[in-house]
Structure 1
């Protein structure tokens, strides 16, 4: 599946990483050049600098060939414009858009090209499942054709992994850490990364269960 995500904040970046880890072709569009520089080493994700409200930029980013567009910027007006362009100009089959202000929720419908309106408080798992059509809630996302699970776990002050490096954690067989998200920013998960309360980890596994992965960190 070819996916274009507009907005490289915490939510957009996490969605991009999950879908890329599940072997989808993902492009992430962000207008903030500093943020683009931070994401330069994002694994498996193509990052494009520019304004996703610009139809020429969307076309250059591959909107004409996309199966799914997800608008996750922090501005509702931008998410609506992106959705409308995706649906009306580029004929994208499925468009999901984040609703930042619940007072604007009534605008997010087919008139603006929105197939799925996502309130800001919607859990990541629900957003991805609804946007992609996946319905298995055992893990964060399971795509049977890919044969891979992507599972999310969070580090708290009570987690036994807190204060330890990734290299000190014994992971279940067939499991790798895709990214560590800290303060909304993804980091490359090297063995020297020290895990701190508040960190969120995305892990990819071909064998382990969600319970086995959580047990390694909690």
Structure 2
């Protein structure tokens, strides 16, 4: 699946990581060149700098061949403009948009090209399920038909991974950490991050079993 994500904030970045781990073709757009520079080499997606409200930029980023556009910027007006362009000008089959201000939720419908409107407080995985139309998380991460599974594991005070650097954890072959949720907030799984009790990890794997993944942390 060809996915275009606008907004490289925390939410957009995490969605990009999960979908790219599922072997979808993902392009992440942001107007902030410095923000994208920080992500260079850290996530395996195509990065495009520019204003996603500009039709020429969306076309350059691949909107003509996109199966899904997800507008995740922190500005509702921008998300609506992006959605309308994606649906009306580029005929993108499915368009999802983040609703930052609940008072604006009534605007996010088919009149503005929005197929799925998702409140900002929606949990990451639920948001991706809504955006892609998947009925469950496992189905979501099998969109590429590559047999990719998603597995969650929690770091408890008794876990052997407590206090260890993520990059030092030996993961089963074909397994990557898609995101770490700490104190309710998803964060980029930097290899230098030190794991703490209470962390929740979302991993995707092409071959490892749930038991093998849990064993790496517990």
Matching residue of 2:188: 186
Q: Distance between the aligned counterparts of 1:81 and 1:7, measured in 2?
A: 13
Matching residue of 1:36: 36
Deviation for aligned residue 1:32: 1.1
Return closer, same or farther for 1:14/1:153 CA change in 2, 3 Å cut-off.
farther
Map 1:27-176 → 2, pairs under 5 A:
27-137=27-137, 141-143=141-143, 145-153=145-153, 155=155, 160-166=160-166, 168-172=168-172, 174-176=174-176
The normalised TM-score by structure 1 is 0.84
Return closer, same or farther for 1:85/1:158 CA change in 2, 3 Å cut-off.
farther
CA contact (8 A) 2:172 2:213 kept: yes
Map 1:1-16 → 2, pairs under 5 A:
1-16=1-16
Q: Secondary structure at the match of 2:103?
A: helix
RMSD: 2.8
Return closer, same or farther for 1:209/1:108 CA change in 2, 3 Å cut-off.
farther
Q: Secondary structure at the match of 2:98?
A: strand
- Long gaps (5+) in structure 1: none
Return closer, same or farther for 1:59/1:157 CA change in 2, 3 Å cut-off.
farther
Q: Distance between the aligned counterparts of 1:44 and 1:212, measured in 2?
A: 24
Q: Secondary structure at the match of 2:163?
A: coil
Q: Distance between the aligned counterparts of 2:66 and 2:94, measured in 1?
A: 9
Say how many residue pairs are matched: 216
The normalised TM-score by structure 2 is 0.84
Q: Distance between the aligned counterparts of 1:130 and 1:173, measured in 2?
A: 30
Deviation for aligned residue 1:128: 1.4
Deviation for aligned residue 1:42: 3.3
